[in-house]
Structure 1
Amino acid sequence: MSADFVALPDVSRFALTNATLPTALLSKPLSGPMREGLISAHVIIDAERIAAILPAETALPYDIEKVDLDGGLVWPCFTDMHTHLDKGHIWERRPNPDGSFAGALEAVGSDRIANWSAEDVTARMDFSLRTAYAHGTQLIRTHLDSLAPQHRISFDVFKAMRERWRGRIELQAVALFPLELMEDATYLADLVQVVGEAGGVLGGVTFLHPKIETQLDLLFETAAKAGLDIDLHVDETEDRQVLTLASIASAKLHHGFKGAVNVGHCCSLARQDEDTVSRVIDLVAKADLSVVSLPMCNMYLQDRHAGRTPRWRGVTLLKELTAAGVRTAVSSDNTRDPFYAYGDLDPVEVFREAVRILHLDHPLGDAPAVITRSPAEILGRPELGCLAEGGRADLVLFSARRWSEFLSRPQSDRVVLRSGRAIDRHMPDYRELDSLLGADHA
């Protein structure tokens, strides 16, 4: 199998020599000189697994086939822990008229009612997964709009797609719904049944509401009784008056909730004074919440006002949260839909933009964990996010040798290995979706 920058042998045992590895992604330390959190090494592949990771000065057996990467980077495959596969690729059919959050809500709501049949969701979800797989992603969590009756349609599609993609992409699903709907006991019971049968996660959207404390109590009580984890959309606003993040952390502590709780966005945290920031972050750390930032979507939606240049970046305080011991990650979020008009479910793009938007550089050594090791650990699959001897040879090879090279180009010539074999990285053509998007688009 060949690719743009390296040819791989058609054998089960070979060595990737003169490779450069991010030390933050190694399961155990490796000896040798380091530069910017990168180290030279040889990676031995044998029977679908990483047999050994050796210092670069190690002499290799003469009889092993060698592939010289000439300093190219080697990463584990990626984890995209916050996506919306049910919304993806509807932009041409239902664009956001003004790029605002309100415009996105209205556009998605009307498109869902008009078009989201099982066939429609299946076609768009499969298109997205083929794209993500070609980029090198192996674990995805998707939020699914779960207003009735869509919850049953989309979760059935999700279960079918999870089986179709088993062994290529691991899939997790979160039910996304306004928390006030929990007041409808019939709906809540049905939703919990659907989520439980799918092995899913209970989600929701939190915002400033007179009953937010009561809603959170019911959410945690319901999740605990059903044995479900929680993953919430939180404070996706520039309004500093909205800070439900603190209420979520307090509710988890109050209920002694033992499940995992992840929170996404948390944009308004960056709008608070320093005393409030310190207090809330301490509470988040104490409650052991994990936090995912969605830098591309947040930059797109936040502080958007007609005729005015945005004044802030829209993202949460990822550095401060990480420094406090909070598990953090970044992810794609929406793709070509009214909440984000662009994107391709490419974690390399997400990482590159996160480095720029969140200033994850200078130094860059720990940054690669945000799309690999950290989200995989948050989603309960830590073995998928690191370079480990004995682990599956699910790797992404890059011609780039240093961070400046890696972050300056899209890395479109990357090679993706699954179980030690290079996959076909052919991208699905957008024309496949023309029949779903309407004659005007076609």
Structure 2
Amino acid sequence: MTYPFMSPPNAARFVLSNATIPAITLSGYAAPTKEGLLKADIVIADGLIRDILPPGSAPVELARADMKDGMVWPTFVDMHTHLDKGHIWERHANPDGSFPGALEAVKADRETNWSAADVRARMEFSLRSAHAHGTSLIRTHLDSLAPQHRISFEVFKEVREDWKDRVALQAACLFPLDAMADEAYFADLVSVVRNAGGLLGGLTHKTPALHGQLDQLMRAASENGLDIDLHVDETADREVLTLKSIAEAVLRNRFEGRVTVGHCCSLAQQEPEVAMETIELVAKAGLSVVSLPMCNMYLQDRHPGRTPRWRGVTLFHELAAAGVPTAVSSDNTRDPFYAYGDLDPVEVFREAVRILHLDHPIDTAARVITTTPASILGRTDIGRIAAGRPADLVLFSARRWSEFLSRPQSDRIVLRKGKVIDRSLPDYRELDSIFGGTNA
């Protein structure tokens, strides 16, 4: 394999010299920074980061790869995905790109095609892509209306075991909360999620029953020791205040588990005083928020023949300023909710910087696909660079932000336990068999 900007030595002990590192991802080492970037030598031995030293000070007897000021990042965290939906666009497209169109197309495909073999094939394809891009931790939401919950969670458990040494996996169920009215179904769903070591999730809707639904969900989560991850307010309707209701429910129920909410689009449409009241409650309740900028720009404010008027994303800066843990993620991949994407956190980060204005200053922006989502997912051992941790690193030729954000960084190198992995992406033709022979 030929590397375009450097060649990591095939040795048990070596140095990545003259590396540029986002300081927000680094523990146990401090140095002057510029735009949140600092210089260091990274000593790697037997698959671990043994030391982080000032540039040029690593032991001279060690083999070395000169980064020539290229960036070194920890591997990435993609905390909100839909591995079970991925790559169904060719079977069931969403011709008008609308949210209702996406719902109908996914429903039709799920009811017709989502056997265990089909779900597994598409999950594996997605994971091979994510791994090649440098991701080491993913949370996926799994459509969980009966009987799909039993099919998909069983597949998930098998895939999680098969991938445990490459990509750590978590799963949350996804179902409309009004389905909890079917007590037998909900009890079975909770049992399936608990036995899979998953999370309770769901779709929230503006309804008079929401108060009771949230209480029921949190009781079930408390009784079974489960965390919660919800899809919330994925709409431009400013009257939808589900996020506020969730924060109030956490406080009312004294829920002690982790609660993550995704999307929260309507928050950006509300009057400032209304939005700030909700943000204060979100912070008080200890919620974490993940924004899905690419998917929400695709779906929100889409009308035939009309240019969109807003970006579809939540009040990311205001939430972060209030102390709310905030991250970004891929969301859907080549399915009716988002026609594009490849589970590449670098693409997500690059677009998030532009869409959410995470720049000027950009000093701590790298956290949104590394340290913050890792902490939200309870895996502080991932998404950070520190002595004693596995040498799971992503190497870039880009030396500064203007270079990093201007190209897709397709020449990156991924190290896992200090070894270069094969970054070959799976060919879409591999999916032809599950689409009846062709993607054309």
- Counterparts of 1:284 and 1:225 in 2: how far apart (Å)? 23
| Paired letter, 2:435 | L
- Counterparts of 1:225 and 1:195 in 2: how far apart (Å)? 13
Secondary structure in structure 2 of the residue aligned to 1:383: coil
Which residue is equivalent to 1:54?
A: 53
1:10 is displaced (CA, Å) by 1.4
- Alignment map for 1:287-366 (pairs within 5 Å): 287-366=285-364
Provide, for residues 309-350 of structure 1, a one-character-per-residue CA deviation record: whole Å limited to 9, x for no partner. Answer: 000000000100000000010000000000000000000000
1:440 is displaced (CA, Å) by 5.7
- Counterparts of 1:357 and 1:59 in 2: how far apart (Å)? 40
| Paired letter, 2:185 | Y
1:439 is displaced (CA, Å) by 4.1
- Counterparts of 1:196 and 1:330 in 2: how far apart (Å)? 26
Which residue is equivalent to 2:12?
A: 12
Secondary structure in structure 2 of the residue aligned to 1:19: strand
- Counterparts of 1:37 and 1:224 in 2: how far apart (Å)? 40
Which residue is equivalent to 1:192?
A: 190
1:62 is displaced (CA, Å) by 2.1
| Paired letter, 2:38 | I
| Paired letter, 2:43 | I
Structure 1 runs of 4+ off > 6 angstroms? none
- Counterparts of 1:378 and 1:440 in 2: how far apart (Å)? 40
- Alignment map for 1:23-422 (pairs within 5 Å): 23-31=23-31, 33-56=32-55, 58-422=56-420
- Counterparts of 2:84 and 2:362 in 1: how far apart (Å)? 33
Secondary structure in structure 2 of the residue aligned to 1:98: coil
1:16 is displaced (CA, Å) by 0.4
Secondary structure in structure 2 of the residue aligned to 1:50: strand
1:30 is displaced (CA, Å) by 1.2
Which residue is equivalent to 1:22?
A: 22
| Paired letter, 1:223 | A
8 Å CA contact retained: 1:30, 1:54: no
Secondary structure in structure 1 of the residue aligned to 2:169: strand
8 Å CA contact retained: 2:200, 2:227: yes
| Paired letter, 1:104 | A
Normalising by structure 1, what TM-score?
0.98
Percent sequence identity over matched residues?
Answer: 66
CA shift in 2, pair 1:440/1:63, >3 Å: closer
| Paired letter, 1:12 | A
Provide, for residues 33-62 of structure 1, a one-character-per-residue CA deviation record: whole Å limited to 9, x for no partner. Answer: 321110111000011110011122x52322
- Counterparts of 2:368 and 2:172 in 1: how far apart (Å)? 20
- Counterparts of 1:412 and 1:4 in 2: how far apart (Å)? 10
- Counterparts of 1:440 and 1:402 in 2: how far apart (Å)? 42
**What is the number of equivalent residue pairs in this alignment?**
440
Secondary structure in structure 1 of the residue aligned to 2:390: coil
1:244 is displaced (CA, Å) by 0.3
8 Å CA contact retained: 2:79, 2:373: yes
| Paired letter, 2:25 | L
| Paired letter, 2:88 | I
- Counterparts of 2:61 and 2:356 in 1: how far apart (Å)? 46
The root-mean-square deviation of aligned C-alpha atoms, in Å, is 0.9
Normalising by structure 2, what TM-score?
0.99
1:29 is displaced (CA, Å) by 4.1
- Counterparts of 2:253 and 2:49 in 1: how far apart (Å)? 43
- Counterparts of 2:391 and 2:71 in 1: how far apart (Å)? 15
- Counterparts of 1:4 and 1:156 in 2: how far apart (Å)? 41
- Counterparts of 1:313 and 1:423 in 2: how far apart (Å)? 36
- Counterparts of 1:64 and 1:196 in 2: how far apart (Å)? 48
CA shift in 2, pair 1:49/1:70, >3 Å: same
Provide, for residues 120-169 of structure 1, a one-character-per-residue CA deviation record: whole Å limited to 9, x for no partner. Answer: 00000000000000000000000000000000000000000001101100
| Paired letter, 1:40 | K
8 Å CA contact retained: 1:262, 1:290: yes
Provide, for residues 231-282 of structure 1, a one-character-per-residue CA deviation record: whole Å limited to 9, x for no partner. Answer: 0000000000111000000000011111000000000000011111110000
Secondary structure in structure 2 of the residue aligned to 1:337: coil
1:307 is displaced (CA, Å) by 0.6
1:421 is displaced (CA, Å) by 0.3
8 Å CA contact retained: 2:432, 2:438: no
Name stretches of at least 5 consecutive residues in structure 2 with no aligned partner.
none
CA shift in 2, pair 1:34/1:202, >3 Å: same
- Counterparts of 1:441 and 1:13 in 2: how far apart (Å)? 45
8 Å CA contact retained: 2:41, 2:57: no
- Counterparts of 1:396 and 1:284 in 2: how far apart (Å)? 33
Secondary structure in structure 2 of the residue aligned to 1:79: strand
1:435 is displaced (CA, Å) by 1.2
- Counterparts of 1:191 and 1:412 in 2: how far apart (Å)? 41
Which residue is equivalent to 1:3?
A: 3
CA shift in 2, pair 1:65/1:441, >3 Å: closer
